[in-house]
């Protein structure tokens, strides 16, 4: 039986409208994979998979680092030979090892190195400060990598049994984390021989 042309055109129009609606719904679903929600928390220790490793290896360290002193005088910070408040620095990957090289204004130098661990501590939470990305609250983020400390030069006093070096990368973003979210870093040395922290920024395209 032949259908009236108007009926056929109407069905085609309905099919087109349904296709547009499906595409819009799919786009919204994909966008909401990165959405955040009030009170959101993602805290735990997870495997350092290839995706996270790629993000970490793509981070670019700025050329300046500071030594955390708080209310203390810089000379009182232990675990560093002739500690300085400011260092120039470079970062280089040697296979699975991140080597951070520091030099003070008198030419004294040393390195702190991290071999990538098998796991990483993740801290991504809504700080509930009212910031909003348009996809929900802007999360505060930290990724932490902790390994036995490896140190040379002026940092050699901090190398030894039970000394731990922790790299903390810090930033903000939505539920889809990548390297561009991270803007700052802190490097913490802890143990019976040395306890100090260095901090600085990442070079970003933001």
- Domain span at residue 20 reads 1-32
Q: Are residues 109 and 14 in the same domain?
A: no
Q: Are residues 95 and 73 in the same domain?
A: yes
Q: Are residues 6 and 56 in the same domain?
A: no
Specify the number of domains making up the chain.
2
Comparing CA positions, the residue from 123, 126, 122, 130 lying closest to residue 174 is 126
Comparing CA positions, the residue from 143, 110, 112 lying closest to residue 125 is 143
pLDDT tens for 120-131 read 999 999 999 989
pLDDT tens for 27-77 read 555 568 899 999 999 999 999 999 999 999 999 999 999 999 999 999 999
Q: List beta partners, residue 182.
A: 171
Query: What was the pLDDT predicted at 31?
Result: 60
Q: Are residues 193 and 132 in the same domain?
A: yes
**Full-model pTM:** 0.83
pLDDT tens for 145-186 read 999 999 999 999 988 899 999 999 999 999 999 999 999 999
Q: Are residues 135 and 150 in the same domain?
A: yes
Q: Please answer whether residues 99 and 115 qualify as being in contact, where contact means their C-beta atoms are separated by less than 8 angstroms.
A: no
Q: List beta partners, residue 152.
A: 111
């Amino acid at each position: 039986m032949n259908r009236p042309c108007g009926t056929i055109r109407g069905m085609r129009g309905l099919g087109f409208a349904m296709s547009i609606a499906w595409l819009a719904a799919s786009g919204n679903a994909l966008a909401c994979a990165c959405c955040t929600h009030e009170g959101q928390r993602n805290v735990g220790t997870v495997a350092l998979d290839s995706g996270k490793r790629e993000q970490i290896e793509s981070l670019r360290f700025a050329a300046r680092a500071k030594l955390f002193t708080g209310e203390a005088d810089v000379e009182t910070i232990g675990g560093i030979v002739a500690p300085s408040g400011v260092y120039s620095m470079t970062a280089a990957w040697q296979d699975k090892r991140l080597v951070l090289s520091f030099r003070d204004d008198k030419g004294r130098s040393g390195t702190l190195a991290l071999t990538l661990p098998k796991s990483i501590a993740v801290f991504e939470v809504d700080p509930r400060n009212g910031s909003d990305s348009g996809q929900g609250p802007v999360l505060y983020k930290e990724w932490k990598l902790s390994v036995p400390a490896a140190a040379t030069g002026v940092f050699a006093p901090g190398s030894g049994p039970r000394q731990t070096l922790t790299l903390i990368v810090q930033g903000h973003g939505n539920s889809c984390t990548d390297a561009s979210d991270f803007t700052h870093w802190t490097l913490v040395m802890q143990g019976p021989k040395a306890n100090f922290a260095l901090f600085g920024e990442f070079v970003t395209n933001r």
